[in-house]
């Protein structure tokens, strides 16, 4: 089956193609994770050797639990961005772009693509959390319209906890009203 995709344009002229994550993408996704620097993995903690978790990510996308995209260039995955639990009223957004492709305006285009998908599916809002020292992501999320609603404690699978910033993008008048007056300290 031919794989259709959408072109996204980097500021330096390079072009990547965004398409849905599909069955058989496990190795390409793992190769992408293996290509990430320590710094990027510090902001998007994933184990590049965690083959079961990678298989599960693909499985969830194929079954429609998540709505997941990859961006490709020259046959390699260069970014992964998704809405977890897309069937719920408020899916959760995640994004990671390869080091050589960061700061090129691609993140903004990928966020818009995911927000358009959530809107067209009639979702109430999209939420996410981001590490407290990830100022680039925090800046970008607010630039595209996410509202910062405060810090939240994540309970990690390891039994540990981590405090992150929580942001919400309202998609309906009701959810817009809910978050309109929220103001939070950083
Ligand atoms: C965070 C990420 C998704 C952003 O995507 P990107 O394509 O690099 O970002 P863009 O080029 O679209 O936009 C970056 C914005 O942040 C700004 N920025 C860059 N570094 C910054 C910093 N240290 N502090 C504040 N803002 C910063 C840029 O100026 C730009 O804003 P502008 O358009 O208003 O000028 C991407 O860099 C990435 O995947 N990083 C590693 C993993 C990660 O952090 N994932 C998110 C986890 S929540």
Would you say residue 85 lies in a domain?
yes
Would you say residue 82 lies in a domain?
yes
From the CA of 81, how far away is ligand 1's center (Å)? 14
CA-wise closest residue to 23 among 62, 68, 53: 62
From the CA of 1, how far away is ligand 1's center (Å)? 34
Would you say residue 72 lies in a domain?
yes
92 close to ligand 1 (CB < 6 Angstrom): no
Q: How do 67-73 and 76-84 pair as beta strands?
A: antiparallel
**Pick from 1-10, 28-37, 96-105, 161-170: least confident:** 1-10
Would you say residue 86 lies in a domain?
yes
137 close to ligand 1 (CB < 6 Angstrom): yes
40 close to ligand 1 (CB < 6 Angstrom): yes
Residues 24-52 as b or e (16 or more Cβ within 10 Å = b): ebbebbbebbeebeeebeeebebeeeeee
Q: What's the confidence (pLDDT) of residue 158?
A: 87
Q: Which atom of ligand 1 is nearest to the CA of 109?
A: 12
172 close to ligand 1 (CB < 6 Angstrom): no
Tell whether the model's pLDDT for residue 2 goes beyond 60.
no
d(Cα 89, Cα 112) in Å, to the nearest integer? 18
Q: What's the confidence (pLDDT) of residue 91?
A: 98
The residue whose CB lies within 8 Å of the most ligand 1 atoms, and thus the one to mutate among 107, 110, 111, is: 107
Q: How many domains does the chain have?
A: 1
**What is the rounded average pLDDT of the residues 142-161?**
94
pTM: 0.96
Would you say residue 151 lies in a domain?
yes
Domain that holds residue 15: 6-180
Q: What's the confidence (pLDDT) of residue 186?
A: 73
Nearest-CA residue for ligand 1 atom 41 is 40
Tell whether the model's pLDDT for residue 140 goes beyond 50.
yes
**What is the rounded average pLDDT of the residues 85-98?**
98
d(Cα 167, Cα 74) in Å, to the nearest integer? 34
**CATH number, domain containing residue 143:** 3.40.630.30
- Decide: 141 and 128 in contact? Cβ < 8 Å: yes
Q: Which atom of ligand 1 is nearest to the CA of 129?
A: 48
Q: What's the confidence (pLDDT) of residue 179?
A: 84
**What is the rounded average pLDDT of the residues 4-24?**
97
From the CA of 121, how far away is ligand 1's center (Å)? 26
Which stretches of the chain are DSSP H helices?
26-35, 38-43, 51-63, 106-120, 135-144, 173-180
């Amino acid at each position: 089956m031919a794989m259709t995709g959408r072109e996204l344009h980097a500021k330096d002229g390079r072009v990547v193609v965004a398409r849905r994550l599909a069955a058989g993408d496990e190795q390409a996704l793992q190769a992408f994770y293996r290509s990430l620097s320590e710094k990027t993995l510090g902001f998007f903690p994933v184990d590049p050797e965690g083959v079961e978790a990678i298989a599960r990510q693909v499985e969830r996308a194929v079954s429609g639990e998540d709505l997941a995209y990859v961006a490709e260039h020259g046959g390699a995955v260069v970014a992964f961005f998704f809405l977890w639990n897309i069937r719920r009223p408020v899916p959760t957004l995640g994004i990671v772009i390869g080091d050589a492709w960061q700061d090129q305006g691609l993140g903004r285009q990928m966020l818009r693509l995911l927000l358009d998908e959530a809107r067209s599916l009639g979702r109430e809002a999209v939420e996410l959390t981001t590490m407290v020292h990830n100022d680039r992501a925090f800046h970008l999320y607010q630039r595209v319209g996410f509202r910062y609603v405060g810090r939240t404690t994540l309970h990690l699978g390891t039994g540990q906890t981590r405090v992150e910033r929580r942001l919400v993008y309202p998609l309906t008048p009701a959810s817009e009203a809910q978050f309109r007056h929220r103001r939070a300290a950083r």
